[in-house]
């Protein structure tokens, strides 16, 4: 049987199944067998980590298929796209995967631009292929925004969020998984602040989460209780909605469609900023 290699980077970007879901998967495999083959790239497992651990545990036969990719980055994008299409992800996980997708595609372009002079023809061909691909839908953030049905600004913010979560994962993979699963709550605002922080800032947050002293809400140590934080969010949302209604009523008096569309766009932008602050 072909040796199966576990790549920790690939494994760590996958959502962690809760105990109940894992147990249900195990029961299903024991009763009906593993109907889906594991997917490998150059002998590395890229899809089916939970199934693989169950098959190993019970010494069951393992079926695999091999896929071909030009690079690790292409594999990462395939893994991301597969997870997004397959799983019922929470909002933070979706943001993380969108940001990781963006960062990975940018890395592909950087790699193509970094080819040395001895491979200049190949580099030019790769750059042109990437440019042609991205130009179909605009720049990288633009075409990913279209793919995921969000704004380019959201894609770029997701990229920062992904960087912060990965930085936490470098210190503690378990804390990273807990944050992505929702077991540990760290606000988007706190995660974005980490992108401008130091390694010590990241380590401090991880230490506080591990020892149970971390509070979600403020930079660093957090603020107050979750109910107080939610009450503040409700106030902000109510204020924005009331402002929008007033603006819309004023625009309706003029019966100007473009003016109403402009008001709606402003409200959407306000909601986007509010969403990113949570």
In tens, the pLDDT along 203-235 reads 999 999 999 999 887 555 343 344 444 445 666
To the nearest 10°, report the CA torsion of 146, 88, 22, 32.
-90
- pTM reported for the whole predicted model: 0.70
- Residue 86: pLDDT band by 50, 70, 90 thresholds? confident
Cα distance between residue 104 and residue 106, in whole Å: 5
Instruction: Inform me whether the pLDDT recorded for 179 exceeds 90.
Output: yes
- Determine the pLDDT at residue 228: 47
pLDDT per residue as tens digits for the range 38-78: 999 999 999 999 999 999 999 999 999 999 999 999 999 99
Which residue in 278, 272, 265 sits closest to 152, CA to CA? 272
Q: What is the pLDDT of residue 159?
A: 95
Eight-state DSSP code of residue 182: T
**Residue 57, exposed/middle/buried by CB under 10 A (0-12, 13-18, 19+)?**
exposed
pLDDT of the residue at 85: 86
Which residues lie below 8 Å from residue 155, measured CB to CB, with a gap of 6+? Answer: 98, 99, 102, 141, 144, 145, 148
Confidence tier at 81 by pLDDT (50, 70, 90)? very high
Distance CA 82, CA 48 (A): 11
- Write down the pLDDT at residue 110: 84
CA distance 80 to 17: 16
Q: How far apart are CA 227 and CA 233, in angstroms?
A: 10
């Amino acid at each position: 049987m072909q040796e199966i290699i576990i790549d920790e980077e690939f494994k760590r970007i996958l959502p962690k199944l809760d105990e109940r879901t894992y147990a249900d998967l195990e029961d299903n495999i024991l009763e009906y067998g593993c109907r889906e083959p594991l997917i490998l790239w150059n002998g590395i497992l890229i899809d089916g980590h939970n199934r693989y651990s169950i098959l190993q545990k019970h010494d069951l036969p393992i079926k695999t298929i091999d896929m071909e990719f030009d690079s690790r980055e292409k594999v990462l994008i395939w893994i991301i796209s597969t997870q997004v299409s397959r799983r019922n992800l929470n909002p933070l996980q979706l943001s993380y995967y969108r940001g990781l997708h963006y960062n990975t595609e940018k890395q592909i372009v950087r790699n193509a631009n970094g080819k040395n002079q001895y491979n200049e023809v190949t580099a030019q061909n790769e750059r042109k292929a990437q440019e042609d691909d991205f130009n179909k839908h605009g720049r990288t953030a633009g075409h990913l925004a279209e793919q995921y049905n969000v704004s380019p600004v959201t894609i770029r913010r997701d990229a920062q969020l992904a960087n912060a979560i990965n930085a936490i994962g470098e210190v503690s993979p378990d804390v990273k998984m807990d944050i992505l699963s929702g077991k540990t709550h760290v606000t988007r605002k706190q995660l974005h602040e980490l992108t401008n922080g130091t390694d010590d800032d990241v380590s401090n947050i991880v230490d506080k989460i591990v020892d149970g002293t971390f509070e979600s809400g403020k930079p660093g140590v957090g603020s107050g209780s979750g109910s107080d934080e939610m009450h503040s969010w409700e106030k902000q949302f109510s204020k924005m909605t009331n402002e929008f209604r007033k603006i819309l009523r004023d625009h309706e008096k003029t019966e100007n469609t473009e003016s109403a569309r402009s008001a709606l766009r402003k409200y959407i932008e306000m909601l986007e900023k509010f969403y990113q602050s949570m």
